[in-house]
Amino acid sequence: MYNFSDREQFFDRIISFFQNCPFFEGLIQIGSGTEGFKDIYSDIDLMAGCFNIECVENADSALTDFFTGLNAAHIEKRRWTKSVLGMSVYFENGLSADISFMPTAEIPIRSPLHKVIFSKTENFISTVNSRIETFEQQPKSYGIDDSVHYRFINELRYAEIALLRKNYIFAEIALGNARQILLAVEAFIEGKKLHQFKAYNTLSEVFINKLEETYPKCLCFEEISFTKEKILMLYLETVKNNKIFNFDDSLLSLINCFE
């Protein structure tokens, strides 16, 4: 297992490579590491801008050679679009890095957790600043719209039908989807930016304690039915105890109708 010093040295070597590689125009660190790595398990998240699409392809080969030379245990490549590539790199000691790279013109900012590591041109800085401005002007309600209540109730309906079919695995998957919606609603109420939000431990302790009670002790009809009702009660308590949402009680007619 690596330690903090190992990760810092690894991070510095990566930064040095990007700075000296002719295909990269600038580099942004994203994720929790921008505010100081939370713990030893946090990986390194980077987003790089290339001068053009030809540089993206060249950067792919250069990065592969670089990490292979560092004896990476596994390199997983992704091509999100024709010009946006990704690479996840893993080492036997647990170190890992997630890197996306694309032409600078296509760089997105989708989280408040970002920091410019270096820029070789004014174009990179101006592009990033423009993306930051666009992001900050966006509402916090990613995925939270007028359909959120229906989507939540519909997941409970899926769970009910799966229970009647004795398909307990799918029933719990549907309840898991309902919990994800509930978490997003609570995070929105608490003023969190929802895109790629994972810091559930920062939500209200009272809410988290109640949410933990909605997980079944076993995959059986009685236990899943019981936890389904707990999820529903917590959702209704969450949305009705604030002035943001307007829950239509008629949606409740979609569930508990198979009894």
Q: Is residue 233 part of a domain?
A: yes
Tell me: pLDDT of 155 over 90: yes
Taking only the tens place, the pLDDT of each residue in 173-223 is: 999 999 999 999 998 888 876 666 777 888 999 999 999 999 999 999 999
Other Cβ atoms less than 10 A from the Cβ of 148: the count is: 20
| 142 within domain boundaries | no
Q: Is the pLDDT of residue 245 over 90?
A: no
| Type of residue numbered 188 | F
pLDDT for 204:
93
Residue 12: pLDDT over 90:
yes
Same domain as 169, residue 112: no
Residue 25 sits in the same domain as residue 126: yes
Identify the bridge partners of residue 99 per DSSP, sorted by sequence position: 46, 87
Per the structure, how many domains does the chain have? 2
- Lowest mean pLDDT across 33-37, 102-106, 224-228: 33-37
For residue 198, give its domain range.
148-254
Three-state SS for 218? Answer: coil
Residue bearing tokens 């080492």? 91
Query: Does residue 146 register a pLDDT over 70?
Result: yes
pLDDT digits (tens, 9 = 90+) for 87-105: 999 999 999 999 999 999 9
Environment class of 206 (CB within 10 Å of its CB; exposed 0-12, middle 13-18, buried 19+)? exposed
Burial of 152 (0-12, 13-18, 19+ CB in 10 A): buried
How far, in Å, CA of 128 to CA of 120, rounded? 13
pLDDT above 70: residue 10: yes
Give residue 140's pLDDT: 57
Whether residue 53 lies inside any domain: the answer is yes
Q: Quick check: is 213 in a domain? A: yes
In a domain, 105, yes or no: yes
Of 118, 137, 156, at which residue does a domain stop? 137
Among 106, 137, 168, identify where a domain stops: 137
**Is the pLDDT assigned to residue 141 strictly greater than 60?**
no
130 in the same domain as 30: yes
| Same domain, yes or no: 165 and 229 | yes
Q: With respect to residue 223, please indicate whether it lies within any of the assigned structural domains.
A: yes
- CATH classification of the domain holding 51: 3.30.460.10
Answer yes or no: do 177 and 103 share one domain.
Answer: no
In a domain, 259, yes or no: no
Segment 233-241 mean pLDDT: 94
Residue 139 pLDDT class (50, 70, 90 cuts)? low
Q: Which pLDDT score is estimated for 159?
A: 97
> How many Cβ atoms are within 10 Å of 222's Cβ, its own excluded?
10
> CA 119 to CA 121: how far, in whole Å?
6
Same domain? 127 vs 214: no
Average pLDDT, the chain: 92
Model confidence at 243, in pLDDT bands (50, 70, 90)? confident
Instruction: Say whether both 119 and 8 belong to one domain.
Output: yes
Report, as an integer, the average pLDDT of 7-20: 95
What percentage of the chain carries pLDDT values higher than 70?
A: 96
Which amino acid is located at 119 in the chain? S
Q: Which pLDDT does position 195 carry in this prediction? A: 61
Alpha carbon distance 220, 174 (integer Å): 14
